[in-house]
Amino acid sequence: MGKNKIKTKLIHSGIDTIKNYGSLSDPVYKSSTLIFKNYKEYIIAKKNKFSKPYYGRLGSYNTKSLEKIISELYQSESCVVTSSGLSAITLTLLSFLDQNSECLITQNCYEPVYNFATQNLAKFGVKIKFFENNSIKKITKLITKKTKIIYIESPSSMNYEVEDLEKVTEIAKQNNIITVFDNTWATFLGFNPLKWGVDIVIESATKYISGHSDNFCGLVACSYNNYLKIKSTATKYGDYVHSDSCVTAIRGLRTLETRMNQHSKNAKLVYNFLNKSKIVKDIFFLPDKKNKNHKLWKKYFCLSNGLITFSILKKNNISDFLDNLQIFKIGFSWGGFESLILPINALSPVKKSSKNSVFWFRIHVGLESSSDLIKDLKKGFYEYEK
C-alpha cells in the first residue's frame, strides 16, 4: 500500500481479488494436513516451515494474511498470530526468559499476566519484579545483569497509568534488555511503540480489532529474529489460531477506525455525566485534563477508547446498582460493540486492599446511543441510592 495513510491501509491491505476470484474477503482455509506436489517441495517446506505451507497447526493462508497485514500496519519486520491476547504475552515471555533470569513488569498489569508471572514463571526459576508506571528511577534500581525483559502495559489495566516510554526504552537499550509492550488499549491506530524503540509489541485482537465479542486472537509485532524465537515457542507449546479467527480479525480491521472514533465519542459523553454525578467518588479517564496521566498520555497517544473506571461509596448492596442496569451488561473483556460493566476488587493485582470504602467498576462504553447509556446509569444510581 506504499505511503497511503493508515485508514486507507486498514481497508485495502491484504486484499487479493485475483487469487480470490473477485472476492474482497479471503475464503477460510480449514486444513490440518497440507499436501506437497513432490519430494523437493516437501524438503523446501521443511526447511522453511514458518514461511511456507507445512502443517496446519503452524499456520494457514489466513494466518499468513493476517500476519502480513499487521506487519504493514505496525511497520514491523514480522508478526506472530496466536490463539489469544494472553497466549501472545505468555509465549513471548517464555521465549526469552530462563532459569535465574529476571523480568520487570508493570505493577498495575492485566491480572492474568500477574498470575502467570508469579505462579508459572516463578516456578521455572524466573525472578519477577514489579514497578510503578512513570518511575524511571525505581526501574533503574531494579535492573541487574540478570534482567532480560521489561514488560510494559501502558495505559495500565483498571486505572490507566501511563509510562514515559522514551525513558524506559533508553535505559533498556543501555543494558541490552528486551522491551515488550502491550498495546491493546490503543491499538496501532492510537500508538506505535516500535517507533519509540520498543522491541516487541503485543496486542489482543480479541478486543478492538475483532470488535464483536465473538473471537479470540493475539498478535506479536517484532523483528524477524524475534519472530523466529516466538514462533518456535508457539509451535512447541502447541499454540494454534484457527483460520476462522484470522478471517474474523481481518474483517474487524476494516471498520476499526470508525468504531474506535465512536467508542471515544460516546465515552467522553458518559464521562461528562459521571464526572457531574454526586454519587461518583473517583474516576479514571485519560482524556480528562485533570487526570494526572493526561499530559503523558497526550505525548504518546493520538486517540482514546471506551474504557472508564469509577467508584461509588458503599451505601447499599452492589446488586442494587448492577441488577438495575438494562444496557450495560456484566461481563469480562472489552472492545466489542456492546457496553459492559465489571465490578473490580482492586485497581492493582500487586496492591490489593480488603478495606475499601467504595465499590469500583470498569465500564466499556459501546456503540449504543450515548443518551440511552446515560439514562441507564442514572436508573442504576437511582435504585442504588433508594
Q: Are residue 303 and residue 211 in the same domain, yes or no?
A: no
For the segment 349-353, the average pLDDT, to the nearest whole number, is 69
Q: Are residue 264 and residue 379 in the same domain, yes or no?
A: yes
Q: Would residue 176 count as lying in a domain?
A: yes
Peptide bond into 343 cis (omega under 30): no
Q: Are residue 67 and residue 204 in the same domain, yes or no?
A: yes
Chosen domain end from 254, 273, 307 = 254
Give dist(CA 230, CA 52) in Å, integer. 17
Chosen domain end from 254, 279, 296 = 254
Confidence of residue 2 (pLDDT cuts 50, 70, 90): low
pLDDT at 356 over 80: no
For the segment 327-344, the average pLDDT, to the nearest whole number, is 97
pLDDT at 174 over 70: yes
Q: Would residue 17 count as lying in a domain?
A: yes
pLDDT digits (tens, 9 = 90+) for 44-75: 999 999 988 899 999 999 999 999 999 999 99
> Would you list the DSSP string of 46-78?
HHTTTTS---GGG--HHHHHHHHHHHHHHT-SE
Chosen domain end from 225, 254, 283 = 254
Q: Give me the domain span that covers residue 267.
A: 256-385
Q: Are residue 261 and residue 174 in the same domain, yes or no?
A: no
Mean pLDDT across the chain, nearest whole number?
94
Which pTM does this prediction carry? 0.94
Q: Are residue 58 and residue 179 in the same domain, yes or no?
A: yes
Q: Would residue 349 count as lying in a domain?
A: yes
Q: Are residue 85 and residue 201 in the same domain, yes or no?
A: yes
pLDDT of res. 131: 95
Residue 160 makes CB contacts below 8 A (sequence gap 6+) with 185, 284, 285, 286, 291, 293, 307, 309
Q: Are residue 261 and residue 364 in the same domain, yes or no?
A: yes
In the chain, pLDDT over 90 holds for what percent of residues? 85
pLDDT digits (tens, 9 = 90+) for 195-247: 999 999 999 999 999 999 999 999 999 999 999 999 999 999 999 999 999 99
**Domains: count for the chain:** 2
Q: Are residue 240 and residue 283 in the same domain, yes or no?
A: no
For the segment 89-106, the average pLDDT, to the nearest whole number, is 98
For the segment 280-286, the average pLDDT, to the nearest whole number, is 97
Q: Are residue 195 and residue 273 in the same domain, yes or no?
A: no
CATH code for the domain in which residue 360 is found: 3.90.1150.10
CATH code for the domain in which residue 43 is found: 3.40.640.10
Q: Pick the residue with more confidence: 348 or 111?
A: 111
Q: Are residue 209 and residue 111 in the same domain, yes or no?
A: yes
Q: Is residue 304 within 8 Å of residue 286, measured between CB atoms?
A: yes
Q: Are residue 220 and residue 360 in the same domain, yes or no?
A: no
Name the percent of the chain in helix, strand, coil, to the closest 5.
40, 15, 45
Alpha helices in 152-236 (DSSP H): 165-174, 187-190, 224-236
The helix or strand, by DSSP H or E, that contains position 201, with its residue range, turns out to be strand 200-204
pLDDT of res. 100: 94
Q: Are residue 268 and residue 197 in the same domain, yes or no?
A: no
